[in-house]
């Protein structure tokens, strides 16, 4: 893979990460925060794949599979937590869960 | 050995109190109270015996004791007592007895713990007065805080927890500086040594000596209390139970005074000479500030607390006047204030036990309803205003005379204290002895209270009319300080 | 032998005090009176006996050191007593008047309805012991001991009827004002000790002789001023005169003994005793004389305007002691002491007789309601009249005339300003005669006797007042010898003209009183009102008390707190404007927003200013503690509890770290 393409793709990955980060910070709905989180993880995995393609070898794709697995597990746990929190606080607003303040 | 006995007696006596309560239960926990009285009496007798030569001492000290303890780090059990320290130990034991008598009707629950704390305070104070190994001194110094804290926080009234916490924080911060200084001195030497006499021989740079002096004195100044770090005293004295106030005013304040009297001249005489003018000014500020504030109080106990600040200002000024007359006055004032302030707290405490308040607008007319209490107020207020014939006059007059010899403006300012003291003493009397009695009946002093008042009054009068006896007891300590200071300013 | 007697003089009084205070069993009223009389009588007898011995043998002073008091660090303060002419005169006076007043009180007080008199006689005995200590002391510390004890007893005696607010307040006022003088006196003693290394009077006089004669120094003047201030306060002289009129709230015997005959005259005695010191101090003599004259004239005018008989006598006392100070300042201590003796006699007689007259009139004290005293109670009236004549200085027949002549002679001979002093003193003596006459005539006026006649005076009361009246009339010939014995120098001779004026002045005063009684008095209501109020006593008292109150208030931190509160009013406003511009996501932390902030801040500061008798420095420390708590709360706000906040923080932090790493690389 050529250097220019590599840089472009890494930039794209960073852009995805940034979109995910801002989405996480600016979104108040927990579901959408989880979506943004998935986006950040995907971006990271994308960067791994691109790097792997650059250097040849299967490590990149292997890391991607790892990332995917982690994302899946984390999504499952997160969704359960979200359901519990929503039941407790009757709201899907992330800002409503602030009892650990002070 | 007698010195070790003086420390162990109240300690073991106090720890034995739960056993007394367990195996000799009586109405109103009488056995526990009587046991505490017995311990205090024995302690006083032991101290007097030491004063009269029962301890083994060389010419300078009446009793000495020195055994190694943790020689690897330079800690020994080094105790020494002369007229000043053994006199203060006797005073502590006597006030322990007085406070036990004072709390006979006042303390009804958790009596064992209460008396254990009294014994604990007496033990720690005795240790402070007798220790000459600095780490041991620090141990007892900090040890005084715990039983006093319990006394205020558990048995007091008003905002007692807050006052106890304030007391603790103020004195702990001071203690921190003390510990830092002691460790710097002791661990700094190689091999480490914490014996005060040995540390006195060490050569130090003037800057180091000054910092060490300030660090050590910080704790003493907070305990004394010197203005501006006196803030713990009014709250602690006011909200403490009667016994707590008596021990605080009579004993704990004297530990601070004793520390300032004994250790700076021994360890840092040149630095002491350097800071003397500022310390004297601080003393004068305390005298005037405490006096002025006392004049504006509406609560009898708080008024007496502020008079303590004022009187201890005299002690501070006397110590740092670097003048034999003033020093003697400071030492006499230590005893005089202990007698008079304890007695005033005793009388106010008696009123509080009867009426549930010590606000001055609720008291009054005692001359008509309770003449013995009124007489007590009158006499001890006269002592507080330094009426000639009382010990307080001897102390304050000697300080004024000595201060006039070194710095007459400060002496003139101190004489103003005589006017302030009349204003606040008559304010107290106007609201307690004079005036119309309230609607609630007030019974007069009972036998115990009268006995305690008479004992303290006798002490005030004896020292007031024949001060020479006490002065001769305190002279060796006073002269030793004088010698140390002279060597510093002469040679250095 | 004589030394032993000297040492024992205060003993009977002290023993009486101890017994009266400490006797465990109840005492009958007669026993109380007897003990008091024995205490006073014993000391008086010893003093008079020793005085007789001194006179008979013609020996000089004797001295005895009873016991050491404080010996340390260069100070050798001994309880030393001395008996010379001055001591003899003063202690004799104190003793005689003391015994007579105690005897009177033993009968008078029960008739006033007072039953528990133990404390009264105990305090009177202690007072007499202290007074003897003052007049016999040969060491400044011993003198100061007695001096202060006398002040303490005065406090408890004025406030003896402890339930009365007026008495309690008057007692407090007296103690505070005299203590100001006492503090200055102690400073003077300390300064003397610092300068000369001793507190023993003979040694001091010798040292002063050497060091201060010839050259006047600032130190000498300062020390003299301090001693003078002590004397002025105790004697209720200008500017410390505010306490004496109010001190009349005490019982009549107390007023007679303390505030007429003995305690207030102690200031004059002090100046007489310390004459070698004050004479060597520059300007002090002049100050004493002029202040004395101001007192004599001013207080005399005030007495003239009084409506209450006891207050009149109080102002009269200030005035008469002013005469004594005048003589002392003029360098005639003998004349001052002669007047001390005669004043003690006639003033005590006046007070005691006034007590009788007042009781017979139903406890009335207003002069215009005491008329008819002549018929109600002849004894009281005639004693009062005789003593009033003595007070006014009726020529030749009263002791007061002779002692006043000596004072006038002393004033005339006092250096360049002598004639001015003398003229003022003459005017004052005319005023004295005027008010004395006015008082006596007010009692003599017709007027119906009151209903319910009371019994006449008892035996003891009668005896006391008669003896005092006899002394007031008969001590005249003794004035001269007393003055010579005390003063040492021969009394100066008045020229014929001056002597004549000295006779005319009291006559003029009495005539003025007669004219006023007949209705030909000038009307000057505003001047009279000012004089009645002592020419601004209330104003002085108010200013001093107000100033002191402000000092105490300032130290409590209230003014500072109020100032801070005013300043801090600006802060919530500042915070509110800041808060309105913050990011949306943050949301209002405090419920209600900036309004609530301002309210809570104000509440907190208001709590600051509410505690009475609070402590400025403690408030500052509490402020520090509150600031620490506030910072803690502010730091706590970073823990918003919200996920997004924490994430934002981490993100920004990570970005910064990356930036830093990239910059460093």
Structure tokens at C540: 């002085």
Model confidence pLDDT, tens digit, residues A56-71: 888 889 999 999 999 9
Shortest Cα–Cα distance, B300 to chain C (Å): 12
pLDDT for C71 beyond 60:
yes
Q: pLDDT value at position C215?
A: 60
Pairing of strands B75-81, B63-70: antiparallel
Segment of A31-45, C487-501, C541-555, C570-584 carrying the highest mean pLDDT: A31-45
B262 contacts B207 by C-beta, under 8 angstroms = no
Shortest Cα–Cα distance, B445 to chain C (Å): 15
- The DSSP code for C556 is T
By Cβ distance, the residue of B231, B435, B475 closest to C163 is: B435
CA distances from B362 to B366, C321, C433, C590 (A): 11, 42, 50, 42
Do B and A touch, counting CB pairs below 8 Å (3 needed)? Answer: no
| 563-622 in chain C: CB under 8 A from chain B | 612-613, 615, 617-618, 620-622
Q: Kindly state the average pLDDT of the residues C426-440.
A: 92
Separation between Cα atoms, residue C375 and residue C381, nearest integer Å: 8
Which residues in chain A have their CB less than 8 angstroms from residue C587's CB? 95
pLDDT for C571 beyond 70:
no
Shortest Cα–Cα distance, B333 to chain C (Å): 14
Chains that touch A (3 or more CB pairs under 8 A): C
- β-pair partners for B78: B66
Model confidence pLDDT, tens digit, residues B466-478: 999 999 999 999 9
B65 contacts B313 by C-beta, under 8 angstroms = no
B402 contacts B453 by C-beta, under 8 angstroms = no
Q: pLDDT value at position C609?
A: 47
Name B468's Cβ contacts closer than 8 Å, sequence gap at least 6. C68, C69, C70, C71
By Cβ distance, the residue of A24, A25, A100 closest to C641 is: A100
Separation between Cα atoms, residue B17 and residue C561, nearest integer Å: 49
pLDDT for C581 beyond 80:
no
Closest residue on chain C to B232 (Cα)? C618
Pairs of CB atoms within 8 A across A/C: 31
Shortest Cα–Cα distance, B422 to chain C (Å): 6
Q: Kindly state the average pLDDT of the residues C34-53.
A: 92
> pLDDT-derived band of residue C47, with 50, 70 and 90 as boundaries?
very high
Q: Chain B within 8 Å of C191 (Cβ-Cβ)?
A: yes
Asked whether the CA dihedral C653, C654, C659, C665 is positive or negative, the reply is positive
pLDDT for C195 beyond 70:
yes
The model's pTM is 0.89
- Tokens 């004797």 -> residue: C62
Q: How many CB atoms lie within 10 A of CB C13?
A: 31
Shortest Cα–Cα distance, C176 to chain B (Å): 6
> pLDDT-derived band of residue C589, with 50, 70 and 90 as boundaries?
very low
- Tell me the HSE value of B432 on the side-chain side, using a 13 A CA sphere: 35
| 41-80 in chain C: CB under 8 A from chain B | 67-75
Shortest Cα–Cα distance, C137 to chain B (Å): 14
Rounded to 10 deg, the angle between the C378-392 and C496-518 helix axes is: 140
By Cβ distance, the residue of C640, C647, C651 closest to A98 is: C640
B363 contacts B432 by C-beta, under 8 angstroms = yes
Task: Indicate yes or no: CB of B430 within 8 angstroms of CB of C169.
Answer: yes
ipTM of the complex: 0.94
Q: pLDDT value at position C270?
A: 95
* Angle subtended at Cα B151 by Cα B150 and Cα B156, rounded to the nearest 5 degrees: 115
Q: pLDDT value at position C586?
A: 39
Which residues in chain A have their CB less than 8 angstroms from residue C643's CB? 33, 94, 97
Q: Kindly state the average pLDDT of the residues B93-121.
A: 93
Chosen for mutation from C629, C642, C646, C650 (greatest number of chain A CBs closer than 10 Å) is C642
Q: Kindly state the average pLDDT of the residues C538-564.
A: 83
B147 contacts B121 by C-beta, under 8 angstroms = yes
Q: Chain A within 8 Å of C647 (Cβ-Cβ)?
A: yes
Which residues in chain A have their CB less than 8 angstroms from residue C635's CB? none
Count Cβ atoms within 10 A of the Cβ of residue A28 and give its class: 0-12 exposed, 13-18 middle, 19 or more buried.
middle
Q: Chain C within 8 Å of B382 (Cβ-Cβ)?
A: yes
Q: Kindly state the average pLDDT of the residues C514-535.
A: 81
Closest residue on chain C to A26 (Cα)? C644
Model confidence pLDDT, tens digit, residues B412-463: 999 999 999 999 999 999 999 998 887 777 788 888 999 999 999 999 999 9
Q: Chain A within 8 Å of C651 (Cβ-Cβ)?
A: yes
Shortest Cα–Cα distance, C591 to chain A (Å): 15
Q: pLDDT value at position C584?
A: 34
Task: Indicate yes or no: CB of C172 within 8 angstroms of CB of B475.
Answer: no
Closest residue on chain B to C185 (Cα)? B415
pLDDT for B490 beyond 80:
no
Rg (CA), chain C: 33
Mean pLDDT of chain C: 86
Closest residue on chain A to C586 (Cα)? A95
Kindly state the percentage of chain B with pLDDT values over 90: 77
Do A and C touch, counting CB pairs below 8 Å (3 needed)? Answer: yes
Structure tokens at B47: 């101290």
Q: pLDDT value at position C605?
A: 55
Q: Kindly state the average pLDDT of the residues C440-447.
A: 82
Pairing of strands C62-72, B75-81: unpaired
């Amino acid at each position: 893979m050529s250097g220019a393409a590599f840089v472009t793709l890494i930039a794209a990955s960073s852009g995805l990460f940034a979109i995910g980060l801002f989405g996480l910070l600016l979104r108040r709905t927990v579901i959408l925060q989880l979506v943004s989180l998935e986006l950040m993880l995907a971006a990271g995995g994308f960067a791994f794949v691109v790097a792997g393609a650059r250097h040849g070898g299967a490590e990149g794709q292997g890391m991607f599979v790892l990332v995917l697995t982690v994302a899946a597990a984390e999504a499952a746990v997160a969704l359960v937590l979200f359901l519990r929190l929503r039941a407790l606080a009757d709201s899907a607003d992330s800002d409503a869960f602030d009892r650990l303040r002070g | 050995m007698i010195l070790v006995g003086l420390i162990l007696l109240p300690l073991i006596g106090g720890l034995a109190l739960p056993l007394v309560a367990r195996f000799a239960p009586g109405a109103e926990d009488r056995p526990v109270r009587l046991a505490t009285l017995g311990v205090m009496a024995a302690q006083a007798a032991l101290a007097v015996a030491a004063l009269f030569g029962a301890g083994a001492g060389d010419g300078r000290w009446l009793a000495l004791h020195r055994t190694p303890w943790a020689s690897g780090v330079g800690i020994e059990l080094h105790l020494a007592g002369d007229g000043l320290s053994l006199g203060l130990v006797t005073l502590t034991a006597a006030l322990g007895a007085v406070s036990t008598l004072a709390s006979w009707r006042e303390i009804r629950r958790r009596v064992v713990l209460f008396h254990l704390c009294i014994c604990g305070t007496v033990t720690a104070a005795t240790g402070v007065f007798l220790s000459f190994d600095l780490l041991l001194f620090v141990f007892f110094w900090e040890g005084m805080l715990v039983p006093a804290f319990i006394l205020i926080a558990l048995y007091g009234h008003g905002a007692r927890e807050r006052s106890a916490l304030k007391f603790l924080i103020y004195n702990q911060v001071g203690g921190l500086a003390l510990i830092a200084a002691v460790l710097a001195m002791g661990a700094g030497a190689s091999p480490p040594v914490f014996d005060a006499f040995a540390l006195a021989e060490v050569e130090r740079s003037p800057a180091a000596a000054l910092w060490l002096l300030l660090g050590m004195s910080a704790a003493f100044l907070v305990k004394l209390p010197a203005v501006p770090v006196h803030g713990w005293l009014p709250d602690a004295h006011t909200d403490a139970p009667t016994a707590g106030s008596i021990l605080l005013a009579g004993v704990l304040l004297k530990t601070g005074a004793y520390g300032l009297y004994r250790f700076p001249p021994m360890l840092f005489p040149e630095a002491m000479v350097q800071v003397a003018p500022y310390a004297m000014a601080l003393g004068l500020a305390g005298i005037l500030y405490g006096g002025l504030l006392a004049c504006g109080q509406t609560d009898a106990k708080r008024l007496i607390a502020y008079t303590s600040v004022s009187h201890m200002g005299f002690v501070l000024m006397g110590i740092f006047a670097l003048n034999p007359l003033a020093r003697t006055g400071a030492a006499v004032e230590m005893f005089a204030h202990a007698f008079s302030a304890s007695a005033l707290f005793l009388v106010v405490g008696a009123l509080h036990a009867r009426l549930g308040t010590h606000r001055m607008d609720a008291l009054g007319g005692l001359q008509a309803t309770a003449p013995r209490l009124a007489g007590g107020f009158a006499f001890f207020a006269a002592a507080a205003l330094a009426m000639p014939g009382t010990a307080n006059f001897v102390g304050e007059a000697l300080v004024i005379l000595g201060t006039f010899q070194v710095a007459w403006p400060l002496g003139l300012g101190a004489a103003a204290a005589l006017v302030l003291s009349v204003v606040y003493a008559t304010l107290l009397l106007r609201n307690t002895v004079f005036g119309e009695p309230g609607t609630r009946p007030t019974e007069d002093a009972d036998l115990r209270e009268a006995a305690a008042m008479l004992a303290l009054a006798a002490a005030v009068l004896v020292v007031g009319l024949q001060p020479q006896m006490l002065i001769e007891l305190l002279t060796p300590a006073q002269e030793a300080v004088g010698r140390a200071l002279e060597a510093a300013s002469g040679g250095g | 032998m004589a030394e032993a007697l000297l040492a024992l003089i205060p003993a009977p009084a002290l023993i009486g005090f101890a017994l009266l205070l400490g006797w465990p069993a109840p005492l009958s009223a007669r026993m109380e009176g007897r003990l008091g009389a024995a205490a006073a009588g014993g000391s008086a007898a010893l003093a008079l006996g020793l005085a007789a011995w001194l006179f008979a043998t013609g020996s000089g002073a004797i001295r005895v050191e009873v016991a050491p008091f404080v010996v340390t660090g260069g100070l050798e303060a001994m309880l030393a007593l001395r008996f010379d002419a001055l001591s003899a005169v003063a202690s004799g006076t104190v003793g005689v008047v003391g015994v007579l007043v105690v005897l009177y009180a033993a009968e008078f007080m029960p008739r006033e309805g007072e039953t528990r008199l133990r404390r009264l006689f105990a305090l009177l005995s202690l007072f007499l012991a202290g007074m003897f200590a003052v007049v016999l002391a040969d060491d400044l510390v011993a003198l100061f001991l007695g001096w202060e004890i006398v002040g303490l007893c005065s406090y408890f005696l004025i406030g003896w009827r402890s339930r009365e607010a007026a008495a309690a307040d008057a007692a407090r006022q007296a103690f505070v004002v005299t203590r100001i003088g006492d503090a200055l006196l102690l400073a003077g003693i300390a300064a003397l000790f610092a300068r000369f290394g001793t507190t023993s009077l003979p040694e001091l006089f010798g040292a002063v002789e050497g060091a201060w004669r010839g050259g006047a120094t600032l130190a000498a003047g300062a020390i003299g001023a301090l001693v003078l201030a002590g004397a002025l306060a105790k004697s209720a002289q200008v500017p410390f005169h505010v306490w004496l009129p109010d001190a009349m709230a005490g019982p009549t015997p107390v007023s007679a003994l303390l505030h007429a005959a003995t305690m207030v005259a102690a200031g004059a005695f002090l100046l007489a005793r310390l004459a070698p010191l004050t004479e060597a101090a520059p300007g002090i003599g002049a100050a004493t004389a002029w202040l004395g004259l101001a007192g004599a004239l001013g207080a005399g005018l005030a007495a003239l305007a009084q409506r209450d008989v006891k207050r009149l006598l109080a102002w009269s006392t200030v005035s008469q002691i002013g005469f004594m100070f005048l003589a002392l300042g003029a360098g005639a201590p003998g004349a001052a002491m002669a007047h001390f003796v005669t004043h003690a006699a006639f003033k005590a007689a006046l007070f005691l007789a006034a007590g009788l007259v007042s009781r017979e009139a139903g406890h009335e004290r207003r002069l215009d309601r005491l008329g008819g005293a002549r018929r109600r109670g002849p004894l009281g009236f005639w004693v009062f009249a005789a003593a009033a004549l003595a007070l006014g200085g009726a020529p030749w027949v009263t002791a007061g005339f002779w002692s006043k002549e000596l004072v006038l002679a002393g004033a005339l001979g006092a250096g360049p300003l002598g004639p001015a002093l003398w003229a003022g003193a003459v005017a004052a003596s005319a005023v004295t005669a005027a008010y004395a006459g006015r008082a006596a005539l007010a009692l003599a006026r017709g007027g119906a006797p009151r209903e319910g006649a009371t019994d006449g005076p008892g035996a003891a009361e009668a005896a006391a007042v008669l003896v005092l009246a006899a002394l007031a009339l008969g001590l005249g010939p003794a004035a001269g010898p007393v003055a010579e014995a005390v003063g040492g120098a021969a009394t100066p001779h008045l020229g014929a003209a001056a002597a004549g004026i000295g006779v005319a002045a009291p006559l003029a005063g009495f005539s003025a009183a007669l004219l006023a009684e007949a209705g030909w008095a000038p009307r000057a209501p505003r001047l009279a009102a000012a004089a009645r109020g002592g020419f601004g006593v209330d104003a002085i008292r108010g200013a001093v008390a107000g100033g002191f109150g402000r000092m105490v208030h300032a130290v409590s931190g209230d003014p500072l707190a109020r100032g801070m509160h005013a300043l801090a009013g600006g802060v919530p406003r500042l915070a509110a404007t800041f808060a309105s511009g913050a990011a949306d996501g943050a949301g209002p932390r405090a419920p209600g927003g900036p309004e609530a902030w301002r309210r809570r801040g104000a509440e907190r500061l208001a709590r600051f200013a509410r505690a009475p008798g609070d402590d400025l420095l403690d408030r500052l420390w509490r402020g520090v503690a509150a600031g620490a708590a506030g910072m803690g709360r502010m730091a706590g706000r970073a823990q918003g509890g919200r996920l997004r906040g924490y994430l934002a923080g981490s993100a920004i932090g990570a970005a910064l770290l990356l930036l830093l790493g990239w910059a460093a690389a």
